[in-house]
């Protein structure tokens, strides 16, 4: 026989009508009531444990949310700083385009440097050759003057 909350209320009303602590409930009804109360106590304990576990999970999730918000805010700050340094809009596409432009400029600068470096080496070689010729002609001139 299952005890419903309606039966339990009815038995509680019957018990409240008794005088001098005597119960109108039979021994079987009292045993069923005790079993029902024990079952409810176990259910409450289980629900309490589940609630405590949920609270711990919520605290862990709140801490993780705070951590992720910090990371997002830091990333947003870095993105703003990049955009400011590159002189572009703050969205990812603009920043990536500006970085690509910078990389292209670096490659052009390297290429110009290599050209100038090559030109410098050629000029240095020519200058050394011209200095040798000049020294030769100076010797020739001084030998002819003597």
Ranges of each domain in the chain: 1-86, 94-146
pLDDT at position 97, please?
95
**pLDDT, tens only, 70-109:** 999 999 999 999 999 999 998 999 999 999 999 999 999 9
31 — pLDDT class (breaks 50, 70, 90): confident
**pLDDT, tens only, 114-144:** 999 999 999 999 999 999 999 999 998 888 8
pLDDT at position 93, please?
95
pLDDT at position 143, please?
84
Indicate whether this model's pTM tops 0.95: no
Residue 91 phi/psi, 5-degree rounding, is: -85, 160
pLDDT at position 83, please?
94
Share of the chain above pLDDT 90, in %: 62
The DSSP result for 21-88, as a single string, is: T---S-HHHHHHHHHHHHHHHHHHHHHHHHHHHHHHHHHHHHHHHHHHHHHHHHHHHHHHHHHHHHTS
């Amino acid at each position: 026989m299952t005890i419903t909350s309606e039966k339990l209320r009815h038995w509680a009303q019957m018990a409240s009508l008794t005088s001098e602590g005597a119960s109108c409930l039979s021994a079987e009804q009292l045993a069923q009531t005790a079993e029902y109360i024990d079952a409810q106590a176990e259910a409450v304990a289980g629900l309490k444990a589940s609630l405590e576990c949920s609270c711990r999970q919520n605290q862990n999730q709140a801490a993780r949310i705070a951590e992720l918000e910090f990371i997002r805010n830091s990333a947003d700050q870095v993105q703003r700083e990049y955009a400011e340094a590159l002189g572009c809009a703050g969205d990812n596409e603009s920043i990536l385009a500006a970085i690509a432009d910078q990389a292209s400029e670096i490659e052009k600068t390297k290429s110009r440097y290599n050209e100038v470096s090559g030109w410098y080496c050629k000029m240095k070689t020519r200058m050394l050759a011209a200095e040798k010729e000049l020294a030769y002609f100076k010797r020739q001139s001084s030998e002819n003057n003597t």
